[in-house]
Structures are given as C-alpha cells and as structure tokens.
Amino acid sequence: MILLIDADSLVFASCYKPREEEGSFFENIEDVILKFDETFQRVVNELSELYDVEEVLVFNDSRGNFRKLITKKYKANRTGQKPPLLPQIHDHVRKTYKGIQGCGMETDDLVAAHWKSLSDIYGRDKVMIVSIDKDYLQFPALIYKYNKKEVLDISEYDALKNFYTQMIVGDTADNVNYFKGKGVKFAQKYYKDCDTKYQFTKMLYLLFKERYKSKAREKYIECYNLLKLRTE
C-alpha cells in the first residue's frame, strides 16, 4: 500500500495546546514537533497493522492558489489568527518527512494528482489517501480518516454523488455557496433518480438555470472549478 498523507490539517492541529491548558497555541516549537511526530507515527502504525505499507508520501504547505484568481470570495471568510509556529512546523515536515510542496495549487490538488497517477499505475486498491478533508470524497478512492480510525472505500457512484452534492451544498470553510439554504437533504432528494454523470450534470445545470438565469453557465463553471480537485 502506498500512503498519501495530506499533512496540512495535522500540522495545524499540532499547533494547539490541549484544551485543559491555558492559551490556544503552543509557544515552543519543540512541543508542536512532539505532538506532530507522535500523531504522525500513530497514524502510520495503525495502517501498517492493516496493510503492507510499502511507501509513505507526505504533502504539506503548498503555495499559491489558482482558485483565488477565479473569485476573491474564495476563503475570504478565513480571518482568524493563524498559529504563530505554523511556518516552523511546516518546515519541520518538509525537512524530516520530505514533505512535497505544490505551487499555484492547494495541497489537496497535489495529493489528488498523485492519487490519480499512482492508481493508474498500481491500481486504486494499492493507494490510500490519509486525510480528514471531505473534498477527497469526490474520488473513488481508499481514504483513511485518522480522527475516527476509519477506512472509507468510496465507490464510483458515491464519488459522483458526493461531488455533485457538494456543488449544491457548497463548502462553508472555503466560502463557496451558490445555493444558500439548500443542504444535504435537498440534494439527496433532488438527485434521487440520478445514476450517471450525465444525469447528475443535467439535473445540476437545471438548478443553476433556475437560480442564475442567463449567468447559469458562468456560475456553473465557476462553482465546478472551485470545488473540483485537480488531478493533472
């Protein structure tokens, strides 16, 4: 098994003190490194007990983001304070774990591209994405959610349904929402007769036509490019 570890969330979480301690962030980089290393090793050990792990690739701290060129609203809601030791722990991951860094894209795009390439070569059952990021659910992949110690085996149909559902529901964390007020229950009911990509696309475009009229195509493409992870 080849593990593709999206370390960004793990890096961010490692900067926080336990809840019972005073203050939000660690002040010493040694504490952050210790927390990251312990969690990282635990995750790898858990998967090594389940699979014959042959290779571990780590991805973190990609720079530049083409989605912010699509619309200034993308992630514009992220105004909170960043952990002060975030750059240092990212540097530790790059040096210690040979973290792979992308340019002009997000880390999950880079992971997605590696997943597609390696899956094409070795087969999708030989590659696993390790992440708590819901965006990966748009792929028919093996995914390990380390926060729940849960392996997900996403089918082709579920991957389609997950992505087209997100096109309606949006992504609050990234400030993407083209159908405010429409949630998962609406999407599930709306797509209940869809089985193919064509059917999902047709139904979704009808919704864009209803909401955006003459700008339907523009808004559809915009939403698609914000939510679809790049695999090339």
- What are the extents of the domains in the chain? 2-154, 157-227
Q: Which CATH class is domain 2-154?
A: alpha beta
Query: What is the predicted pLDDT for the residue at 232?
Result: 83
pTM of the model: 0.94
Query: What is the predicted pLDDT for the residue at 156?
Result: 97
**Low-confidence residues of the chain: pLDDT under 70:** 20, 22
Query: What is the predicted pLDDT for the residue at 18?
Result: 85
Sequence-distant (6+) residues with CB within 8 A of 59 are: 4, 5, 6, 7, 8, 99, 100, 101, 102, 107, 110, 111, 114
Query: What is the predicted pLDDT for the residue at 20?
Result: 67
Whole-Å CA distances, 106 to 75, 176, 213: 12, 15, 31
Q: State the Cα–Cα distance between residues 81 and 104, nearest whole angstrom.
A: 23
Query: What is the predicted pLDDT for the residue at 81?
Result: 83
Query: What is the predicted pLDDT for the residue at 78?
Result: 84
Query: What is the predicted pLDDT for the residue at 94?
Result: 96
